[in-house]
Amino acid sequence: MNVTIVDYNSGNISSVINSFQEVAKDKVNIEVTSDLSKIKSSDKVVLPGQGSFKSCVEALNNINGLVDTLNEFAINNKKPLLGICVGLQMFADIGYEEIETKGLGWISGKVSKIDNQNGKYKLPHIGWNEINILKSSKIFKDIENNSHMYFVHSYEFIPEDKNVILATTNYSSKIVCAVEKENIIGTQFHPEKSDKLGLQIIKSFINL
């Protein structure tokens, strides 16, 4: 099986690569590339994202044909895709970081700045926080409710359809931290930085 981590120059993704290679061992081929033919032929795709919504969307668009290839992979062919952090946020229709920026439009909704309640909550939201699992998913196999995951973000994804929400975390309000719509899965937290439980989530994605 081939799992492709999309490398579209969106910041340092070495921890994502290392954790997937650690979990996959020899059974699964982990490819890190922006080569469209390799993405098309892979069984699963990981879309990481670091930095701002705007910079990540622009980086995707800067690689000719990449967005079309991802659309074909996830929307037309319905193969499993995992978005991490801004990778999840880009599923939205629109984001409001820096300037209003159009997202991939895979899951209707918007990405807005976390309400820090007049400075009561520090932004970015950094560190370990409990996740509240709202519904069962193969991605949360062997993960207990109220487990701690690692976060680094100032913006949150607000989906229109609440049925796609897998888990939330409490920080200023209930922030969506995992979504699932058919074959498309996203986590706002960083599984690659969330120790053994994060590796378990990566394993569950590989095993889907």
For the chain, the helix, strand and coil percentages under 3-state DSSP, each to the nearest 5? 30, 30, 40
Nearest in space to 60 (alpha carbons), one of 3, 5, 111, 9: 9
149-161 b/e (C-beta count within 10 Å ≥ 16 → b): bbbebebbbebee
Annotated catalytic residue within 56, 85, 97, 180: 85
Nearest in space to 98 (alpha carbons), one of 61, 54, 50, 57: 54
Residue 22 designated active-site: no
Annotated catalytic residue within 56, 156, 180, 190: 190
Q: Give me 128's structure tokens.
A: 């370990």
Whole-number Å distance between alpha carbons of 133 and 166: 6
Residue 31 designated active-site: no
Annotated catalytic residue within 97, 156, 180, 192: 192
Residue 125 designated active-site: no
Q: Give me 109's structure tokens.
A: 């909704």
Phi, psi of 140 (to 5 degrees): -105, 25
CB 169 within 8 A of CB 189: yes
Active-site residue numbers?
A: 85, 190, 192
